[in-house]
Amino acid sequence: MRRPTTPGEQARRIRLNETISFLTTLANLSDNPKDISRFAERFPAARGFRVSPWLVRHWAMILEGEDYLPGRSDGVLLRLYWLMPLRETLRAVWRAPDRRSKLWGIMRISQDFFQYGDRSLVRIPLSNEGDYFLSLRSPSRFEEQILQFIDLTDWTGYCANPDCQHPYYLSKRKKKYCNRACAKPAQQAAKRKWFNTKGSRRRADKRRDMSRQWGRQWE
């Protein structure tokens, strides 16, 4: 008999499911600002990532140089210079070939998007100045959920259907397509191929057998 789940286990499962849907929604997020607003509405964690808007504005100034347009809101700049690059790194981690590459990718997310992103403009990887930042404050839910990806690296999948709108998925089971609807075109193509090759041979054999039978009737 199965042991009843304890409230602790139940809470962990709910949190895990929440993380799975958070990560897959973020990885599949489009560039459309409306989709991004919906993402922020659906996941409270997406609103509390604690990146300082002035810091992001500073990055924009550095990267855009003379093309920098000052009139844009903090939200627009956060989307362009923090959330979208984070989504790209998450996608790269998702599709990385093995667990080790994925762990390195997640560490890079933690350092580039949460540690320095939160604290300072200083980024001198070859000096020890960065060690100062290792006295961290408690993580935001956004950071927690991204780091929980470490436990899910064996579940990452990328849908083989080239027309899939949400190709990034997490699943315990190894599968080729994210869902049945995405597998359908390939199944139909395989059926068609079978019908045109093996099937047509079979039909020809059947015709031959039939005509032999008919022929024998008059023997």
| Interface region with Zn ion, contact rule CB under 5 A, candidates 19-27, 57-65, 163-171, 194-202 | 163-171
Nearest to residue 170, comparing CAs of 192, 151, 189, 193? 151
Q: Does 93 bind Zn ion (CB under 5 A)?
A: no
Give φ, ψ of 168 to 5 degrees. -85, 120
Q: Does 178 bind Zn ion (CB under 5 A)?
A: yes
| Interface region with Zn ion, contact rule CB under 5 A, candidates 34-42, 122-130, 138-146, 159-167 | 159-167
Nearest to residue 181, comparing CAs of 161, 195, 155, 156? 161
Q: Does 159 bind Zn ion (CB under 5 A)?
A: yes
State the Cα–Cα distance between residues 3 and 24, nearest whole angstrom. Answer: 30
| Interface region with Zn ion, contact rule CB under 5 A, candidates 18-26, 91-99, 164-172, 188-196 | 164-172
| Interface region with Zn ion, contact rule CB under 5 A, candidates 37-45, 56-64, 156-164, 184-192 | 156-164
Q: Site for Zn ion (CB under 5 A): which residue of 161, 171, 175, 183?
A: 161
Q: Does 183 bind Zn ion (CB under 5 A)?
A: no
Q: Does 182 bind Zn ion (CB under 5 A)?
A: yes
Q: Does 103 bind Zn ion (CB under 5 A)?
A: no
CA 187 to chain centre: 25
CA 217 to chain centre: 66
Q: Does 83 bind Zn ion (CB under 5 A)?
A: no
State the Cα–Cα distance between residues 159 and 207, nearest whole angstrom. Answer: 41
**What's the min distance (Å) between Cβ of 18 and Zn ion?**
22
State the Cα–Cα distance between residues 8 and 41, nearest whole angstrom. Answer: 27
What the block records as the tokens of 128 is: 């020890």
Site residues (CB under 5 A) for Zn ion? Answer: 159, 161, 164, 178, 182
